[in-house]
Structure 1
Amino acid sequence: MNKNTAYFIGIIFSIILLYSCNSKETQSSQKEIESEATFTNPLLPTGARPWATFYNGEYFYLQDADDRIILWRTNDITNIKNAPSKEIWIPKDKNSASHLWAPELHRIDGKWYIYFAADDGNTDNHQLYVIENEAEDPFEGEFIMKGRIKTDKEDNWAIHPSVFKHKEELYLIWSGWQTRRIETETQCIYIAKMENPWTLASERVLISKPEYEWERQWINPDGSKTGYPIYVNEDPQCYYTKDKNKILIYYAASGTWTPYYAVGLLAADSNSDLLDAKSWTKSEIPVFIQNIENQVFATGTPCFIPSPDGEETYFLYQARSIEKEPYGSLPASTMDTRSPRLQKMEWDEDGVPILGEALSEIEKIKKPSGTK
């Protein structure tokens, strides 16, 4: 072998060696990306009004179940489909045995409370109820009925109760009617102070009613609709700006049976009188809407939860992958086409949450930080 041949063989060997190293590094990098923990939406095939809370390293999750309340527990909220679940409430009283909507689990003064709406089989008779469990672990012990929360003297229709504490005072927020429906149904957002977790201490105060066009959509794009106009503000959820200077109430607007179901926002100064309707201002535009390009429709009911390590914030919400509800015109029949979804939340320069755009069902999303 002459010197030139040996030289070229050496060059070729070096190139092969360099390519092999680069290829291994590329493959290693690709494996690292592929192995990064991700998830896709929806979290479950079906499930309306998802809600979760994080306690002692675990998420406790609930959703509509119509005639009972089911509780899930998991340390990975993105893997709720494989989490253990338990039927923790099956009503015995016929007045509250049907249409158990929007159950929420709250830890208040060392006890667990679940707030929900229910009726006697006629959805026009919906009222608010609360059950209590003294056990440290909500999967243990027993939930007992504390009773119906009477929201006003006329016993107007009421759904979607949620509670929050502010300056050591407990408040209830919910959706209800001003007066019983005659030809048109109008759902409004109310707030009241609580004497204890099952009793109001003040009169209800109306803080939002459907007034903008995006809050009053009840007819589908193809013209299908409910039997009468239904204008919707419902499912209120409390949150705060990053500096805690403002209290935020997110709510859902327009008919959930339409693709236009969207998220609205109310805000009040933290030092204001929360029972004064003038303390609350409403965003003129929705803050989270359908994403036609990503085939995500009827986005609503946000619920905010931390990542396991507390470094990030995510929000649960419901949506559909089809434009309109195919099973009928009544909202009560829409339950099985909605599904729970999860996205990471960011903050704007004023410390207000940015919900962003609804992500498609094929997009891989990084799991919340600290998920094991």
Structure 2
Amino acid sequence: MPTPIHNPIVLQRADPCVLRHAGEYYLTGSHPAYDRIVLRRAATLDGLQAADEVTVWRRPGSGPQSHLIWAPELHRVNQAWYLYYAAAPDEEVTSDDGEADPTFNHRVYCLECRDEDPLTGTWVDRGQVDTGWESFALDATSVVLDGVQHLVWAQQDLAIKGHSNIYIARMRNPWTLATPAVLLTRPEHDWETVTFWVNEGPSVLVKNGKVSLTYSASGTGTEYAMGLLTADADADLLDPASWTKSPDPVLASDASVGIYGPGHNSFTETPEGETVLVYHARTYTRLDGDPLWEPNRHACAQVLPFDADGRPVWGRPAALTRPVPATAALLSPEGTMV
């Protein structure tokens, strides 16, 4: 009988990415100080909370990668490790009228480690991933299909209403695109446009001949929810016509179990081969101050079942079985307690 998963699997780690490799689980996610990239490793999902956390990269003191390090993802491609993450420059952005521009100015970056152990190995900065145009870009994920790597990410197009859309491209190498970006989804439904017009945080699951591409939408409070695109695994994934978009969210806040704003997910599996859905969520609705610095988005996980036709049965967020902080311990932008 599979070992039950106790939630949260890790406290105060938003945007969780869990990868199972060689029988061990690796976890990364946004650090509440947004100034570093951290990794944990454990033999079980339940062991990740107590596992030592290793900082494998810190933001530089200045330059384009020196501010607000968001949503790192760990991937294994061609016997090497890769971390994709979003970062912003330290200089103030101004609008055309010379006023300070509150828009985030992130771009996607890549780190590479060719050592066997990503926690102790050397990480090499491969720089910005050129996505084809310069605008707010974040939340890159990777999927290899039939030996070909694809990048999926969120980016703003100023010609499209909203803050970010989801794009896909094939890759020449893990930090270079081989094809132009293809738009897969943009905010259009009511549930995708609460507070912010956002499609972000994509993740890809390939199983039973289908590709499930999940993403998250709206603001990061209780309105945050997960959406879904599906395609046949043998289809041309760079053809938007290959994809079907669900009109409704597949995972959303559930007051009956005290889970709010579930989203920015990843996928892993149990030792028995069951698919596991990993996501972050808050456990209360009142947010004091800037929600960006509210650290209590916790990494949660639950087995994702499939129906007789091999389609995921998304269901509802699982109830918590571990204690969580009752209130937020707010962090300043420097990562210190306030």
Structures share a fold, TM > 0.5? yes
Partner of 1:211: 188
1:48 and 2:10 correspond: no
Instruction: Kindly indicate whether residue 215 of structure 2 is the aligned counterpart of residue 246 of structure 1.
Output: no
Structure-2 residue corresponding to 1:313: 275
| CA deviation vs aligned residue, 1:170-217 (integer Å, no higher than 9, x gap) | 110001101289xx6431001111111000111111100011111111
Q: How does 1:177-196 map to 2 (within 5 A)?
A: 177-179=156-158, 185-196=162-173
What is residue 137 of structure 2 aligned with on the other side? Answer: 158
Match in the other structure for 1:348: 307
Q: Distance in 1 between matches of 2:268 and 2:321?
A: 23
Aligned positions of 1:267-346 closer than 5 A: 267-307=230-270, 309-328=271-290, 332-334=292-294, 336-346=295-305
Residue of structure 2 in register with 1:71 after alignment: 39
In structure 2, what is the Cα distance between the partners aligned to 1:105 and 1:278?
A: 29
Offset of 1:38 from its aligned partner?
4.9
Offset of residue 362 of structure 1: 4.0
Contact 1:156 1:180 (C-alpha < 8 Å) held by counterparts:
no
- Pairing partner for 1:112 from 81, 84, 88: 81
Deviations 1:114-154 (A, max 9, x none): 1111111466210000001110111222001011001123x
Deviation track 1:80-115 (CA, whole Å, cap 9, x = no partner) reads: 221022110113252102211111111111111111
User: Is the 2:17–2:278 contact (alpha carbons within 8 Å) kept by the matching residues of 1?
Assistant: yes
Change (3 A) 1:165 1:37: closer
Q: Which has the higher helix share?
A: 1
Contact map agreement 2:8 2:322 (CA 8 A) in 1: no
Secondary structure (helix, strand or coil) at the match of 1:79 reads coil
Aligned partner of 1:102 in structure 2 is: 71
Shift of 1:326: 2.6
Q: How far, CA to CA, are the matches of 1:203 and 1:317 in structure 2? A: 29
Distance 1:106 1:73 in 2: 14
User: Does the residue aligned with 2:138 lie in a helix, a strand or coil?
Assistant: strand
Determine the structure 2 residue equivalent to 1:82: 50
Contact 1:325-1:337 within 8 A present in 2 as well: no
8 A contact 1:302–1:315 mirrored in 2? yes
C-alpha contact 2:59 2:69 (8 A) present in aligned 1: no
Q: Is the 8 A contact 1:127 1:148 kept in 2?
A: yes
Q: Is the 8 A contact 2:18 2:266 kept in 1?
A: yes
5+ residue gaps, structure 2, are: 93-102, 324-338
Query: Distance between the aligned counterparts of 1:54 and 1:104, measured in 2?
Result: 13
| Residues in 1 aligned to 2:167 and 2:193: alpha-carbon distance in whole angstroms | 18
RMSD of the alignment, in Å?
2.0
Give % identity: 32
Pick closer, same or farther for the CA change 1:180–1:74 going to 2, 3 Å. Answer: farther
State the AA in 2 paired with 1:314: V
Secondary structure of the 1:40 match is coil
The whole-number CA distance in structure 2 between the counterparts of 1:125 and 1:292 is 34
Match of 1:61 among 8, 11, 27: 27
Match of 2:121 in 1: 141
CA contact (8 A) 1:259 1:324 kept: no
CA distance in 2, matches of 1:214, 1:356: 17
Q: d(CA) in 1 for partners of 2:108 and 2:69?
A: 10
Higher Cα radius of gyration? 1
TM-score by length of 2: 0.86
Do residues 124 (structure 1) and 93 (structure 2) align? Answer: no
Following the alignment from structure 1 to structure 2, what is the Cα–Cα distance between the partners of residues 166 and 277? 17
Q: Tell me if the contact between 1:129 and 1:149 (Cα under 8 Å) persists in the aligned partners.
A: yes
Post-superposition Cα deviations, 1:60-98, rounded to whole Å, max 9, x if no partner, equal 110102111011111021122210221101132521022
Distance across 1 between alignment mates of 2:82 and 2:44 = 23
| Stretch of structure 1 that moved more, 170-179 or 348-357 | 348-357
Total equivalences in the alignment: 308
Task: Give CA-to-partner distance per residue, 1:330-356, whole Å, 9 cap, x none.
Answer: x6334x021111111100122122232
Determine helix, strand or coil for the equivalent of 2:279. strand
The answer (yes or no) to whether the contact 2:16–2:278 under 8 Å persists in 1 is yes
